[in-house]
Amino acid sequence: MSAVHPDDLHAWRQAHVPLFNDNPLKLGIFGQNCSNGCTITHAPTSFEPTYAHNVAISKLADRLGLELLVPVGRWKHFGGSTRFNENNLEVYTWATAMACNTERVMVFATSHVPTVHPLFAAKQAATIDQISAGRFGLNIVCGWFRPEIEMFGAELIAHDDRYRMADEWLTCMKRAWTEQDFDFDGDFYHIKQGFLLPKPVQQPWPAIINAGSSEAGREFSARHVDFNFITITTEEEAAFLIQDVKRRAAAHRRQCGVMTYGLVCCRDTEKEAREVYDSIVRHGDWEATENIMRLLGIESTSFGNQETVRNLGERFIAGWGGYPLVGTPEQVVEQMQKIHAMGIEGFILSWLDYLPELEYFGERVMPLLKEAGLRL
């Protein structure tokens, strides 16, 4: 298709790309491609990261009208007794397969910058966008888990340089998606007569998200992506992050929305919901959790006292540090309303047992979200 005029891009994306639709609170699924999903626990579940099980979850999400499916990009596990995230489906292949099994939902690939050349990533993205008729999305991660990056013979470079590299990586991709026969000469990439066909279906390119939370990460999001994902710890910090991302984007004459993520434990009664949450924590794999927190620099010296670190640890066990939505359907909707009121435009969700709990969410929570005006 011919290029949409820059003045019409916003309207084009609103009309054609689910991530930009009119639902006040977009909904998605996070981490369904990995063993243990987003819960670092031995609590019993029927969830398994097989292709067939992933298809069942994605088809249900599609039927319920969710906007996005976001896999975790993972190359190695985090040890512990769960060997957390050990077994996982590769994200670009996964996105293609999920696209072929769905009709409306957007399928993302969570791509590590140093593990794939930007021209190859751009080619895969354009191909999946063609296969899905414009439903592909890219989640960009720079990499922080040293053994993963070193496995590729690459070096885990200094933190802010990772975002400089990501900036070049994405610039090369954007040029490949919109130009032909271009040269690029940067510090990290050199492209001679860059060529790419087919171009993506989405205009000007596929939807892009990123979860950078450092200053360099927020600046990268503001310059380049459509939605930044924040971790909500306190209301004050969330308010600061939301304002900061939007202010930075405005300085680049663009818009960048903000979304978040978290685990859902929803049952008919608060007591039952709390029991599920407590069971996840009680069966938690603290060794894997501490490994992750150490890698992320979350230790008692830099993050306050032992109790703060333990509370954060519980949140990692129950949903990768995301916002826990625990309670009855009414209570979960109340919490989502509160979070939306802060300026959060979307929520990617995980469950201990994705498939049956998503079914319950569709039956019991989604109608209430509609009544609350969070979904059309």
Ligand X SMILES: Cc1cc2nc3c(=O)[nH]c(=O)nc-3n(C[C@H](O)[C@H](O)[C@H](O)COP(=O)(O)O)c2cc1C
Query: Is position 217 an interface residue for ligand X (rule: CB under 6 A)?
Result: yes
* Smallest gap from residue 162 Cβ to ligand X (A): 7
* Smallest gap from residue 145 Cβ to ligand X (A): 6
28 or 134: whose CB is closer to ligand X? 28
Query: Is position 75 an interface residue for ligand X (rule: CB under 6 A)?
Result: no
Among 47, 108, 205, 229, binds ligand X (CB under 6 A): 229
Query: Is position 109 an interface residue for ligand X (rule: CB under 6 A)?
Result: no
Task: Spell out the residues 6+ positions from residue 220 whose beta carbon is closer than 8 angstroms to its own.
Answer: 163, 166, 167, 210, 212
Query: Is position 110 an interface residue for ligand X (rule: CB under 6 A)?
Result: yes
Contacts of ligand X in 144-203 (CB under 6 A): 144-145
3 state SS of 109: strand
Residue 332, CA atoms < 13 Å, CB-side half-sphere? 28
3 state SS of 166: helix
196 or 208: whose CB is closer to ligand X? 208
CA 180 vs. chain centroid, Å, equals 30
Query: Is position 68 an interface residue for ligand X (rule: CB under 6 A)?
Result: no
3 state SS of 30: strand
Query: Is position 312 an interface residue for ligand X (rule: CB under 6 A)?
Result: no
Among 214, 300, 308, 311, binds ligand X (CB under 6 A): 214
81: number of Cβ within 10 Å: 12
The region of 2-10, 101-109, 210-218, 337-345 touching ligand X under the rule CB under 6 A is 210-218
Separation of alpha carbons 218 and 63, rounded Å:
33
- CB burial of 255-275 (b: ≥16 within 10 Å; e: otherwise) equals ebbbbbbbbbbbbeeeeebee
Number of residues that bind ligand X (CB under 6 A): 16
Query: Is position 212 an interface residue for ligand X (rule: CB under 6 A)?
Result: yes
206 or 322: whose CB is closer to ligand X? 322
Query: Is position 213 an interface residue for ligand X (rule: CB under 6 A)?
Result: yes
3 state SS of 23: coil
Query: Which of 160, 182, 156, 155 shows the shortest CA–CA distance to 171?
Result: 182
Query: Is position 261 an interface residue for ligand X (rule: CB under 6 A)?
Result: yes
99 or 209: whose CB is closer to ligand X? 209
Q: Tell me the pairing of strands 257-266 and 325-327.
A: parallel
Among 211, 241, 256, 332, binds ligand X (CB under 6 A): 211
Which chain residues interact with ligand X by CB under 6 A? 72-73, 110, 141-145, 211-214, 217, 229, 231, 261
